[in-house]
């Protein structure tokens, strides 16, 4: 039985449509480690088509100008939409000046949840 499994494994990997890669973040607006003017939309583009209901973000304001001890403040009320490889987040209002941590999670056809994060600044 073990021998059969070892012989079948290369065949399964060679089948068309077999997903062995995971989605990777290709680009984002705002991009990591950039300073932008008050965005109302965030856009993340991945290397594979996403499963919309299983992909999304968490956005937290981690610093505010003039406040040294600013506690992390989650940003709520945004709407996410997925079309193909692109995840678009529409914010209810422009983000105020400060630093932000964006945590993303993406699920593609292989059904594995991949996560990542980056920071950006709003001036």
- In this prediction, residues 51-63 reach a mean pLDDT of 97
C-alpha to C-alpha distance for 27 and 25, rounded to whole angstroms? 6
Beta partners for residue 46, in sequence order: 25
Task: Reduce the DSSP state of residue 36 to 3 states and report it.
Answer: strand
Residues 5-51 have pLDDT tens digits of: 445 444 444 444 444 579 999 999 999 999 999 999 999 999 999 99
pLDDT at 20: 57
Instruction: Retrieve residue 24's tokens.
Output: 């990777």
pLDDT at 11: 46
- In this prediction, residues 74-98 reach a mean pLDDT of 97
Instruction: Retrieve residue 75's tokens.
Output: 């940003």
Q: What is the value of pTM for the model shown?
A: 0.82
| Helices and strands (H and E) in the chain: how many | 1, 9
C-alpha to C-alpha distance for 104 and 121, rounded to whole angstroms? 17
C-alpha to C-alpha distance for 25 and 117, rounded to whole angstroms? 10
pLDDT at 69: 85
Diameter of the chain measured on Cα atoms: 67
Percent pLDDT > 90 in the chain is 79
Nearest residue to 107 (alpha-carbon basis) of 35, 47, 32:
47
Nearest residue to 66 (alpha-carbon basis) of 96, 35, 24:
96
Per-residue pLDDT band for 59 (boundaries 50, 70, 90) equals: very high
């Amino acid at each position: 039985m073990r021998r059969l499994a070892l012989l079948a494994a290369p065949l399964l990997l060679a089948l068309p449509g077999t997903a062995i890669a995971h989605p990777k973040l290709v680009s984002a607006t705002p991009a990591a480690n950039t300073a932008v003017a008050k965005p109302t939309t965030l856009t993340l583009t991945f290397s594979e088509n996403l499963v919309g209901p299983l992909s999304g973000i968490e956005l937290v304001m981690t610093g505010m100008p003039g406040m040294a001890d600013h506690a992390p403040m989650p940003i709520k009320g945004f709407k996410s939409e997925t079309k193909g490889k692109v995840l678009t987040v529409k914010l209810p209002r422009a983000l105020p000046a400060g630093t932000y941590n964006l945590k993303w999670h993406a699920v593609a056809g292989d059904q594995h949840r991949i996560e990542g994060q980056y920071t950006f600044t709003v001036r």
